[in-house]
């Protein structure tokens, strides 16, 4: 086989690998987010009600901001 054919085969394999990897990663992230949804204000409100606390808007915003800053700190350490 000539060099041009080998180069063409390598390029095709790389493109197929990237496309397959993209769709595999996308499917994995969709299933992960379905199993572990991110926490929003409604979920936080339900958790507070289950713990016997009456959630006010001020307290909900404080807790959401605290969670955001904590996750930002963890991401900056990585």
Q: Which of 33, 72, 42, 74 is nearest to 60 (CA)?
A: 42
Residue extents of the structural domains in the chain: 1-36, 39-77
pLDDT in tens, 9-36: 999 999 999 999 999 999 999 999 888 8
pTM over 0.95: no
DSSP labels for 18-72? Answer: HHHHHHHHHHHHHHHHHHSPPP-HHHHHHHHHHTT----HHHHHHHHHHHHHHHH
């Amino acid at each position: 086989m000539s060099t041009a054919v080998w180069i063409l085969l390598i390029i095709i394999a790389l493109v197929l690998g990237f496309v397959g990897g993209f769709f595999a990663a996308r499917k994995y992230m969709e299933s992960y987010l379905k199993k572990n949804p991110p926490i929003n204000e409604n979920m936080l409100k339900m958790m507070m009600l289950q713990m016997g606390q009456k959630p006010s808007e001020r307290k909900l915003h404080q807790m959401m901001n605290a969670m955001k800053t904590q996750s930002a700190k963890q991401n900056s350490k990585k």
